[in-house]
Structure 1
Amino acid sequence: MAAKITFFQVGNGDMTLVRLADTRVTTILTDINIRSSADDPDDDMPDVAGALRQRLMYDKDQRPFVDAFMLSHPDQDHCRGLRKHFWLGRPEDYPDDHLERSERRIIIRELWSSPLIFRRRSVNHTLCDDARAFNSEARRRVAHWRANGYATSGNRILIMGEDNDDKTDDLGAILIRSGDTFNKIDGEYSSLFSARLLAPAPHEDDQELETLLSKNDSSIVMNMEISPSIFSSRKTRFLTGGDARVLIWERMWERFQDTPEVLE
């Protein structure tokens, strides 16, 4: 099977699915924006939830899943529909087995989350209910890892970017620092995928800048490198940046201008 990137018709916001060319059909979902009108069969809004489910695998218990879900930043048009369509909680507590397969919530095997997107909320940058739910689930998974020193599928999380004041230094194996490259998805290494995290990055050297940054400026910026098929030696690159503003791209250019290939 060939690798594929699907951009769903969500209007404003984002919802992108990356499927790798491996036998597992590994999936990485970036953001969601599933409006209530998209769930209404009498509305002409594209049924993006249904389109997503058609592209997912099901586990041995007939539960739909994504191998990784990355929230670029917690604006509503990037996480709308999360609570309705995804299971947030311990895998063993999954409550939808009695429902029809098409109605079961999607399990997230591994979360990719930035610590900065939630710290930079404020009176002017509040979180919607879906963003708060994502935050709670991310915290649950970090607590699970800290308590056990490991996590299994459905409890896993990768923290994208370090926080200021060494707040994330104890996260060890689940921390991806800005500039790092990784090729592990839900505990499995992949020869068909790698990704370099470009942002967010803490700005300890510029406290004035830090006070001006918002949720958008904490967007995860990542450059994925994907093999089109198991037989191909060439790579396709997919650069995704949420809603990061010009200021952040300028800071990234300053940081990587001597190695511009990381931004290709």
Structure 2
Amino acid sequence: MSDKIKFPKKKAVIFWPVGTGDSATLVLKPDEVVMQIDLRHLEKSEEKENPEWPIIDYLVDMLPKKNKRPYLSLFVLTHPDKDHIQGFAELLKKVDIGELWHTPKIFRDQKEQNKLCEDANAFRKEADRRRKAILAGPDNIKSGDRLRVIGHDDILKDEKYKDIPDDCKSRPGEKVSVVDGDNLSSDFIAFIHAPFKEDQAKDTNKTSLALNIKVFEEKEYGQFFFFGDREYATIKKIFEITEEKKNNVDFLYWDTMLASHHCSKAIMYYKEEGEEEEKFKPDIMKYFKDYSRAGYIVSSSLSDFTDEDSDNPPHKKARKRYESIVKAGQFICTHEYPDQKKPCPLVFTIDSEGFNLDEKRKKEQGSAVLGAAVESARGSKETPKVQIGQG
């Protein structure tokens, strides 16, 4: 894929077509502050005929420049599975990253370290380099060395992290508005829902960082939910605990929700202890529906939704359940937007008029695809085989 695009000249959240994997870019201050949540860069996507977008190439081209280098204010890793961190070593070479956020438990377990992919190991080494730089100069932490460690006291008071300044640490249940040393409270706030303390001995999916993010423009804002690859039990717990504590219920609402684990059915189908088979769990869908605002659900995945009982997403069952709680066309697969043949980044904007799906950008992209299809069909009796829509 080789289309030329630019970041919007307004605040935005962008979901990229990168196959079945996650890559979301948040423009918190146009031409100044950009945040990346997870990364999946595929070498094959650099070939024009492939539908996946080579995200690193676009970031290098589109990011603001600092000291003549592309500058990414913040990179957030939800968990170190390959489809959330692929290409990080290359990104680190080509882009200056002001700050990293991560939950370090998975990197502390030697058994789990042996399972890490090459890019996850590159992230672990970079996070550790930053940790050492912070400890060497805690009163003068520079952009490029900043690190936010997210977890509970068993992590934050560990020998490796106990001497790191408190403003480099966060616990679930806390809000963060500082990015690479700058207070962005009028532009952005991230509420940390998870990991939970009892998650921490479990697999990588269940230790995923879960965030609810608000992006502000004056009195307007857009609200976004990121669950990583969490499944039914721990997502339900996010809603239960937040409702019980009451003071942070506002951070359960969402305009756009990134479907957990690339539209896995494990979010709403679950086998309770003692049961022989998994069952549909309507309570989690009720939570999603009750806290929906604009109501867009994004599946960051290929369009190969399956009916099989496989653990591998995306699942058709999950898609149908999500579609049942939103308006027609507001469940959007990243590889169906605006059509399957030539998917384009999905862009939500926030400006003084509020939160919006960037329909103008969609129409321009769709028109380009349609034009290409018409051109290729000329001289034949075929009609253009292009679906213009939201999937």
Q: Which residue number in structure 2 is paired with residue 70 of structure 1?
A: 76
Which sections of structure 2, spanning at least 5 residues, go unmatched? 1-8, 254-391
Counterpart check, 1:247 vs 2:233: yes
Task: Find the partner of 1:118 among 104, 107, 118.
Answer: 107
Q: Percent identity?
A: 26
Q: Which residue number in structure 1 is paired with residue 86 of structure 2?
A: 80
Q: Which residue number in structure 2 is paired with residue 16 of structure 1?
A: 24
SS in 2 for 1:109: strand
* Matched ranges for 1:1-264 at <5 A: 1-20=9-28, 22=29, 24-41=31-48, 43=50, 45-60=52-67, 62-87=68-93, 105-119=94-108, 122=111, 126-149=115-138, 150-164=140-154, 166-167=157-158, 168-171=161-164, 172-190=166-184, 191-203=186-198, 211=201, 213-227=202-216, 229=217, 232-258=218-244, 259=246, 260-264=249-253
What TM-score comes out, normalization by structure 2 length? 0.56
In the TM superposition, residue 43 of structure 1 has moved relative to its aligned partner by: 4.6
Contact 1:16 1:29 in 2 (8 A): yes
In the TM superposition, residue 119 of structure 1 has moved relative to its aligned partner by: 3.4
In the TM superposition, residue 201 of structure 1 has moved relative to its aligned partner by: 2.6
Cα deviation per residue 1:33-71 (whole Å; 9 max; x = unaligned)?
0011013356554333233334311113x2112100001
Aligned-CA RMSD value: 2.2
In structure 1, what is the Cα distance between the partners aligned to 2:127 and 2:224? 25
In the TM superposition, residue 143 of structure 1 has moved relative to its aligned partner by: 1.2
Aligned-partner residue type, residue 250 of structure 1: K
In structure 1, what is the Cα distance between the partners aligned to 2:230 and 2:63? 28
Greater RCO (Cα-Cα under 8 Å, separation 6 or more): 1
In structure 2, what is the Cα distance between the partners aligned to 1:120 and 1:220? 17
CA 1:210–1:78: 2 relative to 1, 3 Å: closer
Aligned-partner residue type, residue 173 of structure 2: G
Aligned-partner residue type, residue 171 of structure 2: R
What TM-score comes out, normalization by structure 1 length? 0.82
Aligned-partner residue type, residue 151 of structure 1: I
In structure 2, what is the Cα distance between the partners aligned to 1:194 and 1:169? 25
Aligned-partner residue type, residue 201 of structure 1: F
Larger-gyration structure (1/2): 2
In the TM superposition, residue 120 of structure 1 has moved relative to its aligned partner by: 5.3
In structure 2, what is the Cα distance between the partners aligned to 1:77 and 1:8? 13
Which sections of structure 1, spanning at least 5 residues, go unmatched? 88-104, 204-208
